[in-house]
Amino acid sequence: MNPQQQEQSEREQASRMLPAPPCPEPAPGRVEARRTHLLSEIDRQARSRSSRPALRPRRRWSAVVGTAVAAGAVVAFFSLGSGSPAVPGKVPPASAASVQLLERAALAAAATPPTEVRAGQYTYVKTVGHTSVLSETKSGEMELLREDEGMEQWTSVDGSEQTLQRKNGRDALLPGIPGRGNLNSPTYMFLDALPTEPDALLKRISDDAEKNHGAGSDSTTGPHQEAFVTIGDLLRNGATPPDTAAALYRAAALIPGVEVVPDTVDAAGRRGVSVARTHDGERTEWIFDKDTVRLLGERTVLLEDNAWGKAGTVVTSVAVVDSGIVDEAGQTN
């Protein structure tokens, strides 16, 4: 199947599996404008990349749903990958099917009634699932472990209070006070202040990714991949303002290497359709509900054998089963 046939097949599959959009589909010119912008960004940022080490540090899930990670953990976790290049030095643009799916997710997010949020409240999120961990043993060897990611977490909307995490029936205050927040440790107020124009939002995220993962850094992820990781983290924060969520979905459609996986299952056993990116034989999937186009969670699947397991292994799978804004830490919806 050639690339054009593959793209048409993806588009047809996505159309069959997703509900009709609540608003009209974006005009063809709008999609084409985004593709043109994307290709110009690829030309501007294309560069040679250094070879990666055998094992890479990876972002842990609890950093996604909170503002701090307990100190002392020696771990490596799976994150999002960049697409495989169609020509040397370049990555293909997001597929038409993925642009369509992300636009429908954006329309659904924008149609969500906004929640009145005030200082002193908390974002609440409950997750189930697991992440894969590489930990060094006493003998100096690396051991692959599976860590439970079932937890509840409460983060101050304005960053004025410590984050409360409940795991395995035990409550713990995470170290430090979030403060206003940033792209890696967002608060609701920080998210609400982000640009809602997709190009401006992507530039904000990409500038940060370029600074920390671009040329001259020791990063093996690269700025495109890191931008996609950051967007996924912000969307899974627990409660993202509707306009911000819509802009994040549209910004993700401008990042190369995105495709659609028509049928996936999240950590809670819910079937969905995914936006996915493949990098070095690892496919990370953002799983959406087929009826509501609501983001359910994420999983990473090995497409080839590596140090983390055999091809077909689901090395990371975490689902958000509840989220919202509450008045007090410890309170649920």
Q: Percent of the chain scored above 70 by pLDDT?
A: 70
Res 213 pLDDT > 60: yes
Closest by CA position to 307, among listed 178, 177, 183, 144 = 144
Tens of pLDDT, residues 4-44: 666 566 656 556 555 555 444 555 555 555 555 444 444 44
Tell me the average pLDDT across 245-252.
Answer: 97
Give the contacts of 108 (CB within 8 A, at least 6 positions apart): 21, 22, 292, 293, 294
Tens of pLDDT, residues 158-185: 999 999 999 999 999 999 887 889 998 9
Tens of pLDDT, residues 107-152: 999 999 988 999 999 999 999 999 998 888 888 887 888 999 999 9
Query: Amino acid letter at 290?
Result: K
From 45-59, 185-199, 265-279, 299-313, the region with the lowest mean pLDDT: 45-59
Tokens representing residue 273 in the block: 């359709």
Measured over all CA atoms, what is the biggest interatomic distance in the chain, rounded to whole angstroms? 60
Q: Are 133 and 68 in contact (CB under 8 A)?
A: no
Would you state the pLDDT for residue 11? Answer: 59
Tell me the average pLDDT of the chain.
79
Give the contacts of 295 (CB within 8 A, at least 6 positions apart): 105, 235, 236, 286, 287, 288, 320
Q: Which long-range contacts (CB under 8 A, 24 or more apart) does 207-214 make?
A: 208/183, 210/45, 214/45
E strand or H helix at 15, and its extent? helix 3-17
Res 226 pLDDT > 80: yes
Tell me the average pLDDT across 275-283.
Answer: 86
Would you state the pLDDT for residue 203? Answer: 95
Tell me the average pLDDT across 87-103.
Answer: 86
Q: How far apart are CA 318 and CA 299, in angstroms?
A: 6
Q: Are 101 and 293 in contact (CB under 8 A)?
A: yes
Query: Amino acid letter at 194?
Result: L
Q: How far apart are CA 278 and CA 286, in angstroms?
A: 12
Angle of helix 198-213 relative to helix 223-235, nearest 10 degrees, comes to 120
Note the pTM of the prediction, 2 decimals: 0.75
